[in-house]
């Protein structure tokens, strides 16, 4: 389907990567993004070697690496703060790092600029008010009143995907796991050159994302799924971490700005049936939203985008392309979702505690395989 008109609903990590991959293969791509681009969470994201490999394949690796912080090891700590192991991470491309930390704003800027350079049209503050697949084309009405026809449509509109609800109205909504994640940016110590992960009932990690900053994340039990007001959020985050390792307690004293605390309940969803209907398909969190315990939510969306572009270029029929895309992605994405939930349940006392070093090694072995 090279040279065809493709509509992408959602201009986040997965949607923009799909726009790049499809435009590079000759498709005319339009991306709809409901936000105006100014409301991106001001924290970072950790990404492993499979993402570096995917971006290298799209010709984005150098810009991507320049926007973040590369590291090649993960340090695993016991709940009391003692170092268990410093595990080197494996690079999948010679001359490139194994892992990256990058501010979300910086990552989206790299992807936005690359998508525009590839020729994609990106419409911010715009949504699809209706999508109608008549078998020959997808007819979209946009929130600005325009109407256009497309050869295929991709729903990359996140965990609360309206596209998913349109295609599969009987699918239950994402399920709350009983945990939430807290994130906060901090100054980076000069000798901080690896990701730090702490085992325990509260999952805590420190991730370098630039020469000046790291970010801390913590997954805590929040059984009643409480909303968190901005006022007092820094103090609540410090309270959640009061019984963690000494190094964590020390660093949390720098968590003082309520407005910089990013809090999100953790929900998950995985579609074990078709990922498309007719000429409309789903990718990323719209079809397999995971918790962040393995740091692969964005990575799976990026890989989805690459595979989907390959299959659309390989097949003349979009339905055949979408079926082939799901076949290549299903087991890999299911592993990430299920293993992440296993770690989550262990931290909640709903199953055995999962050793982060072992889980990470298992994941890396799988994700080193071709996508």
- Report the DSSP pairing between strands 195-198 and 44-47: unpaired
Report angle CA 124, 129, 135 to the nearest 5 degrees. Answer: 110
Tell me: pLDDT of 134 over 70: yes
Looking at residue 71, what is its pLDDT? 96
The answer to whether residue 218 is domain-embedded is: no
Instruction: Quote the domain boundaries for residue 39.
Output: 5-69+101-173+268-347
CB count in 10 Å sphere of residue 85: 12
Give phi and psi for 99, each to the nearest 5: -145, 160
Tell me the per-residue pLDDT of 344-368, one tens digit each, with 9 for 90 and over. 999 999 999 898 888 888 998 999 9
Looking at residue 40, what is its pLDDT? 64
The answer to whether residue 364 is domain-embedded is: no
CA 64/CA 9 separation, integer angstroms: 23
Quick check: 194 and 73 in contact, CB under 8 A?
yes
Quick check: 44 and 102 in contact, CB under 8 A?
yes
The answer to whether residue 309 is domain-embedded is: yes
The answer to whether residue 230 is domain-embedded is: no
The answer to whether residue 193 is domain-embedded is: no
Q: pLDDT-derived band of residue 142, with 50, 70 and 90 as boundaries? A: very high
Looking at residue 252, what is its pLDDT? 95
> Any bridge partners for residue 282, and if so which?
155
- What is the secondary structure of 284-347 as a DSSP string? THHHH---GGGS-HHHHHHHHHHHHHHHHHH-SSHHHHHHHHHHHHHHHHHHHHHHHHHHHHHH
pLDDT, average across residues 77-105 = 94
Tell me the per-residue pLDDT of 30-89, one tens digit each, with 9 for 90 and over. 999 999 877 766 799 999 999 999 999 999 999 999 999 999 999 999 999 999 999 999
Looking at residue 104, what is its pLDDT? 93
Looking at residue 138, what is its pLDDT? 98
Structural domain total, the chain: 1
Domain holding 315: CATH number?
Answer: 3.50.50.60
Looking at residue 39, what is its pLDDT? 72
The answer to whether residue 224 is domain-embedded is: no
Looking at residue 227, what is its pLDDT? 87
Q: Residue 95 — left, alpha, or beta (φ > 0 → left; ψ -120 to 50 → alpha)? A: left
pLDDT, average across residues 252-270 = 96
Lookup result for tokens 């103090």 = 235
Give phi and psi for 123, each to the nearest 5: -105, 105
CA 334/CA 218 separation, integer angstroms: 23
For residue 2, CA distances in Å to 28, 29, 81 come to 9, 11, 53
Tell me: pLDDT of 1 over 80: no
- What is the secondary structure of 33-102 as a DSSP string? ESS-S----SSEEEE-HHHHHHHHHTT-HHHHHHTSEEE-EEEEE-TTS-EEEEEEPPPSSTTS-SEEEE
What is this structure's pTM? Answer: 0.96
Tell me the per-residue pLDDT of 175-190, one tens digit each, with 9 for 90 and over. 999 999 999 999 999 8
Tell me the per-residue pLDDT of 264-320, one tens digit each, with 9 for 90 and over. 999 999 999 999 999 999 999 999 999 999 999 999 999 999 999 999 999 999 999
Looking at residue 38, what is its pLDDT? 76
The answer to whether residue 202 is domain-embedded is: no
Share above pLDDT 70 across residues of the chain, in percent, rounded to a whole number: 99
Q: pLDDT-derived band of residue 98, with 50, 70 and 90 as boundaries? A: very high
Which residue from 192, 136, 164, 108 is spatially nearest to 288, judged by alpha carbons? 164
> Hey, what are 360's tokens?
């990470």
Looking at residue 356, what is its pLDDT? 81
The answer to whether residue 47 is domain-embedded is: yes
């Amino acid at each position: 389907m090279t040279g065809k008109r493709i509509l992408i609903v959602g201009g986040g990590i997965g949607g923009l990567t799909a726009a790049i991959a499809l435009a590079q293969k000759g498709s005319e791509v339009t991306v709809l993004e409901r936000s105006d681009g100014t409301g991106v969470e001001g924290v970072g994201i950790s990404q492993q070697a499979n993402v570096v490999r995917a971006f290298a394949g799209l010709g984005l690796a150098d810009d991507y690496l320049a926007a973040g912080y590369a590291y090649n090891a993960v340090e695993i700590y016991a709940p009391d703060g003692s170092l268990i192991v410093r595990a080197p991470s494996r690079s999948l491309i010679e001359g490139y790092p194994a892992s990256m930390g990058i501010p979300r704003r910086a990552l989206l800027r790299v992807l936005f600029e690359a998508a525009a350079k590839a020729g994609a049209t990106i419409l911010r503050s715009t949504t699809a008010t209706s999508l109608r697949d008549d078998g020959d084309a997808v007819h979209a009405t946009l929130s600005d009143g325009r109407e256009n026809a497309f050869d295929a449509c991709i729903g990359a509109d996140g965990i609360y995907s309206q596209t998913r609800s349109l295609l599969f109205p009987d699918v239950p909504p994402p399920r709350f796991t009983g945990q939430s994640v807290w994130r906060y940016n901090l100054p980076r110590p000069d000798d901080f050159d690896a990701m730090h992960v702490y085992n325990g009932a509260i999952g805590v990690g420190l991730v370098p994302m630039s020469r000046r900053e790291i970010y801390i994340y913590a997954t805590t039990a929040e059984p009643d799924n409480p909303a968190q007001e901005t006022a007092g959020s820094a103090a609540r985050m410090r309270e959640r971490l009061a019984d963690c390792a000494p190094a964590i307690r020390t660093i949390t004293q720098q968590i003082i700005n309520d407005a910089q605390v990013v809090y999100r309940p953790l929900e998950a969803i995985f579609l074990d049936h078709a990922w498309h209907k007719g000429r409309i398909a789903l990718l990323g969190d719209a079809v397999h939203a995971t918790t962040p315990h393995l740091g692969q939510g964005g990575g799976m969306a990026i890989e989805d985008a690459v595979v989907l572009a390959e299959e659309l270029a390989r097949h003349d029929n979009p339905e055949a392309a979408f079926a082939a895309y799901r076949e290549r992605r299903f087991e890999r994405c299911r592993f990430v979702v299920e293993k992440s939930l296993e770690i989550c349940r262990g931290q909640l006392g709903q199953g055995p505690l999962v050793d982060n070093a072992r889980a990470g090694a298992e994941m890396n072995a799988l994700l080193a395989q071709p996508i």
